[in-house]
């Protein structure tokens, strides 16, 4: 079994030959990927492995009908209603925009924030537009109409949801006349420069826009003397080569050149850097294998500790979340600061710190992920047996009542038979039971996450039924056998007839 779950190409070859059937666990393994693209750099026969995985994901999830990770169904449900993955309100997407920065309604130059910078680590976006303003640039922004870039949906095997935001975002750029788009988030940058042109061609959509990363723009402004650093940053800093602007996009030198130009900065590289840089361990690994993700984060941070850096500078909001969370859980303590925060501090501004809010938001999301696992679903349903019995089809209730009312000496045989039947019956019964169970599920979710943001609590009644409908078919093979003994144990203890 160990070999089965570690050799992806071996499994695919056996599957294509018709020698094995794939299971949901196999598909989970295929989806489990940081998208770091390191495999491409070490492949001895130069296979485009990352591109091949991109093609395989929708085959598994769309054509073959396997499920993706529940967390990405939650993101997808939020995205379909409010165009973001953090369960935030669409109308609040541009609340981060600072009052002291002027924004144009239309313009050839635009700025793109991305979901995490818009809702969680807002200093990333705030500082980026201050850099642009101090560089003498006039620009526009998509404001409330900006959607998720869609990359989380692609890596999770949800191309139909990606298409929703693709069409929205391209249309909004055209409305504003944008010809060049400045982007902070490396994942968003990769989406616009790699996936969007592919999808534009596929869907017959015109996309005539130049894409510039914030580090490239900042380097240009520094070299043109449009930005002047006035405050020394007396720190020993190192750069984190985020995979999506590093190995995926080839942007290595601009951030380093900017940091070296800041007075007081002593710049030093970690042992593994540029195309050999270590991945932070985020994306699906953070969701599906948190222990592995924590170790990857600690491996990266330890390199900075080893060179006596005062801080790791990054430009990816998701890397920053991952490195901070993974470092905290793994016990490697190294400050992680955003590139734009360092730049604006050198320009004489004070950047706000949203680290506490980031930990709060991730804590909420992490708890929701835990609940939406097979183990979490079984534990939750184990605490709602009266509601499950009441939700059973009317035709089954007389039998259930009779079993519950039986004397203990004669209960054993029928309950044992029922326990064997439940895993076979639940996949067909559950869709009809779910609407009756949903009020209790919602109540228990809120109890399990008492500090749930009001925006998420507001959206949960609309999101959760969609999420459960999508994740439960794939989970039933694990959930039903684990739930069966809990159901029979409940009936064995209950001596009053079911209502």
**16-36: per-residue pLDDT in tens?**
788 888 888 888 888 888 899
User: Taking the model in full, what pTM does it have?
Assistant: 0.93
In which band, very low, low, confident or very high, does the pLDDT at 44 lie, cut at 50, 70 and 90? confident
Whole-number percent of the chain with pLDDT over 70: 98
Query: Please, what is the average pLDDT of the chain?
Result: 93
- Residue where the block lists tokens 């395989």: 56
Q: Which of 130-144, 381-395, 482-496 has the lowest mean pLDDT?
A: 482-496
pLDDT, position 317: 96
pLDDT, position 6: 54
For the residues 163-186, what does the mean pLDDT come to? 98
pLDDT, position 222: 98
pLDDT, position 287: 87
pLDDT, position 199: 98
pLDDT, position 497: 45
Q: Which of 49-53, 118-122, 190-194, 198-202 has the lowest mean pLDDT?
A: 49-53
pLDDT digits (tens, 9 = 90+) for 275-298: 999 999 987 788 888 999 999 999
Q: Which of 83-87, 266-270, 405-409, 468-472 has the lowest mean pLDDT?
A: 405-409
Most confident by average pLDDT, 36-40, 106-110, 372-376, 409-413: 106-110
pLDDT, position 449: 95
Q: Which of 4-18, 71-85, 264-278, 356-370 has the lowest mean pLDDT?
A: 4-18
pLDDT, position 161: 96
Say which residue, 222 or 47, is predicted with more confidence: 222
- Residue where the block lists tokens 């019956």: 425
pLDDT, position 20: 87
Q: Is residue 331 over pLDDT 50?
A: yes
In which band, very low, low, confident or very high, does the pLDDT at 498 lie, cut at 50, 70 and 90? very low
Bridge partners (DSSP) listed for residue 267:
237
Q: Is residue 475 over pLDDT 70?
A: yes
pLDDT digits (tens, 9 = 90+) for 226-281: 999 999 999 999 999 999 999 999 999 999 999 999 999 999 999 999 999 999 99
pLDDT digits (tens, 9 = 90+) for 50-69: 898 899 899 999 999 999 99
pLDDT, position 1: 38
pLDDT, position 399: 87
pLDDT, position 25: 86
Q: At what angle do helices 24-31 and 8-16 cross, to 10 degrees?
A: 130
Q: Is residue 350 over pLDDT 70?
A: yes
pLDDT, position 52: 87
In which band, very low, low, confident or very high, does the pLDDT at 386 lie, cut at 50, 70 and 90? very high
- Please give the full DSSP string across 81-138, using - where no structure is assigned: HHS-SS---GGGTTTTS-TTS--BSS-SEEEE--HHHHHT-THHHHHHHHHHHHTT--
């Amino acid at each position: 079994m160990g070999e089965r779950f570690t050799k992806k190409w071996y499994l695919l070859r056996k599957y294509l030959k018709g020698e094995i059937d794939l299971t949901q666990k196999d598909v989970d393994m295929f989806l489990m990927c940081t998208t770091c693209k390191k495999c491409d750099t070490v492949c001895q026969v130069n296979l485009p492995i990352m591109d091949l995985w991109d093609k395989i994901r929708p085959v598994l999830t769309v054509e073959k009908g396997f499920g993706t990770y529940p967390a990405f169904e939650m993101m997808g449900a939020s995205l379909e209603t409010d165009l973001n993955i953090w369960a935030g309100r669409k109308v609040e997407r541009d609340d981060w925009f600072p009052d002291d920065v002027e924004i144009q309604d239309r313009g050839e130059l635009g700025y793109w924030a991305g979901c995490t910078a818009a809702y969680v680590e807002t200093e990333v976006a705030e500082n980026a537009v201050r850099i642009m303003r101090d560089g003498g640039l006039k620009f526009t922004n998509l404001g409330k109409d900006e959607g998720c870039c869609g990359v989380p949906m692609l890596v999770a095997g949800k191309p139909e949801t990606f298409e929703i935001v693709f069409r929205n975002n391209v249309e909004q750029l055209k409305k504003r006349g944008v010809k060049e788009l400045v982007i902070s988030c490396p994942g968003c940058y990769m989406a616009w420069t790699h996936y969007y042109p592919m999808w534009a061609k596929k869907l017959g959509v015109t996309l005539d826009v130049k894409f510039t990363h914030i580090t490239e723009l900042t380097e240009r402004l520094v070299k043109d003397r449009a930005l002047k650093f006035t405050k020394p940053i007396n720190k020993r800093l190192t750069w984190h080569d985020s995979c999506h602007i590093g190995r995926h996009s080839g942007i290595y030198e601009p951030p380093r050149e900017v940091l070296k130009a800041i007075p007081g900065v002593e710049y030093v590289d970690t042992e593994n850097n540029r195309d050999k840089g270590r991945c932070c361990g985020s994306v699906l690994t953070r969701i599906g294998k948190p222990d592995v993700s924590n170790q990857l984060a600690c491996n990266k941070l330890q390199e900075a500790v080893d060179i006596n850096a005062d801080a790791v500078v990054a430009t990816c909001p998701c890397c920053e979340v991952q490195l901070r969370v993974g470092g905290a859980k793994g016990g490697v303590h190294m400050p992680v600061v955003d590139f734009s925060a360092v730049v604006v501090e050198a320009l004489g501004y004070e950047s706000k710190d949203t680290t506490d809010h980031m930990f709060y938001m991730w804590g909420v999301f992490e708890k929701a992920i835990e609940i939406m696992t097979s183990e979490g679903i079984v534990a939750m349903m184990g605490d709602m047996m009266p509601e499950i019995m009441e939700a059973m089809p009317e035709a089954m209730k007389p039998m259930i009542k009779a079993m519950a009312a039986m004397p203990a000496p004669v209960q054993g045989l029928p309950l044992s038979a029922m326990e064997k039947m439940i895993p076979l019956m639940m996949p067909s019964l559950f869709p009809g039971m779910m609407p009756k169970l949903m009020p209790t599920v919602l109540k228990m979710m809120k109890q399990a996450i008492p500090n749930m943001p009001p925006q998420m609590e507001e959206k949960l009644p609309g999101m959760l039924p969609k999420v459960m409908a999508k994740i439960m078919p794939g989970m039933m093979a694990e959930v039903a056998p684990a739930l069966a003994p809990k159901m029979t144990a409940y009936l064995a203890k209950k001596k009053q007839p079911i209502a």
